[in-house]
Amino acid sequence: QAITFANPGTRNFGTTPTLTATSDSALAVTLTSSTSGVCTISGGGVLAFVSTGTCSINANQAGNSTTLAAPQVTVSFTVAAVAAGAPTIGAAAMASVTSATVAFTAPTSNGGATITSYTATSTPGSVTATLNQSGSGTFTVTGLTTGTTYTFTVTATNVVGASAASGASGSVTPQVYALGGTGPGGGLIFLISGGTTYEMAPKTWSGAGTPDATATWCDGLTDVSAATGMDVGTGAANTAAMAASSACSSNAAAAVLAYAPSGSSAGEWFLPSRVEMNAMCNYSRNPTTPAAPSVSCAGTVQNSTFAAGTYGFPNGTFWTSSQANPSAAWNPGFSDGVGYNQDKNVALQIRPIRAF
């Protein structure tokens, strides 16, 4: 007996063609793959491509009591790469007055070839950003126009070229942020300093209808030497240092780093440094023209309208992220504006802030 088995020619990765072989004896032919790293084949002859390369399929007919086995026939063909699947779009959010962040998830199929880059494209304007990586990630798209509303799509590129575009993101509108306005994370803008804008969370941030959460700074014994920054711009690094310490990681730092209201993500909020907290205090005293962050807030009274509002501070002290000494950290009081340092293992109020 002899087997007839046609070579299917080059096939594209991601397709599932069916191969058929016949014997002139009319006995059933068995198909098997000798290149399982490239392709597999089912009992019904349906191919599945594992990777690109050369796929080799063997056709055999073992014969029976009256018919001798047929000589094996092998066909080999190329499995070619194709463009990757479309990525899945994620959240888009404002990063600054002229930039936005755009998250995406890698496609389930890379087309049989490694994805080397992703491109985000805006509508309108076709402003683009590129990430040279194979997996999921987040773009920062710069060069946007303030006041224009944008959506974004993402494509993946492999050796074949660009994929189809993802679906469109939600819309974002870059805007100029002003003192007293609302930040992209939904917080109150209390400070604009050195080109960076700071927003504070509302007092109900830890749960609807509840006041500011309380937490300990640490265990009272652990020296977090990397969390000693006092000035504006040091709170985020202080908080990261707290979180990196195994003794402090489940305390105040963990609570604020987990905060992720609409328009922001977990890890973006942090405990203010001592001077950043002082700026919050000065704003609460005079929201119209707050004193500079370096001006002491001591001895003044919180503005009554502000105190009764969404962002008002209850009396009592609040943790900053600034360590005062190995066993204590700074915690100013909003009843008198005085800066204190307290043992780290005492539970005090905490209020997250965010910089953008």
CATH code, residues 3-80: 2.60.40.1080
pTM: 0.59
182-200 pLDDT tens trace = 998 899 999 999 889 999 9
* Per-residue pLDDT tens listing for the chain (356 residues): 999 999 999 999 999 999 999 999 999 999 999 999 999 999 899 999 999 999 999 999 999 999 999 999 999 999 999 999 999 999 999 888 899 999 999 999 999 999 999 999 999 999 999 999 999 999 999 999 988 999 999 999 999 999 999 999 999 998 888 999 999 889 999 999 988 999 999 999 988 566 899 999 999 889 999 999 999 999 999 999 999 999 998 899 999 999 999 888 889 999 999 999 999 999 999 999 999 999 988 776 788 899 899 999 887 789 999 999 999 999 987 777 677 889 999 999 999 999 98
Which distant-in-sequence residues (6+ apart) come within 8 Å of 195 by Cβ?
none
**DSSP-derived pairing of the beta strands 11-12 and 73-80:** parallel
230: left (phi over 0), alpha (psi -120 to 50) or beta: alpha
Backbone angles phi, psi at 263, to 5 degrees: 95, 0
Contact (Cβ atoms closer than 8 angstroms) between residue 3 and residue 73? yes
Q: Matching CATH topology for 3-80 and 88-162?
A: yes
User: DSSP 3-state assignment of 235?
Assistant: helix
Question: Which candidate, 177, 194, 195, places its Cα nearest to that of 186?
Answer: 177
User: DSSP 3-state assignment of 212?
Assistant: coil
Backbone angles phi, psi at 307, to 5 degrees: -60, -35
8-32 pLDDT tens trace = 999 999 999 999 999 999 999 999 9
User: DSSP 3-state assignment of 304?
Assistant: helix
CA angle 250, 251, 253 (to 5 degrees): 95
- Out of 1.10.10.10, 3.40.50.261, 3.30.200.20, 2.60.40.10, the CATH code matching 88-162 is 2.60.40.10
Q: List the domain boundaries for the chain.
A: 3-80, 88-162, 188-355
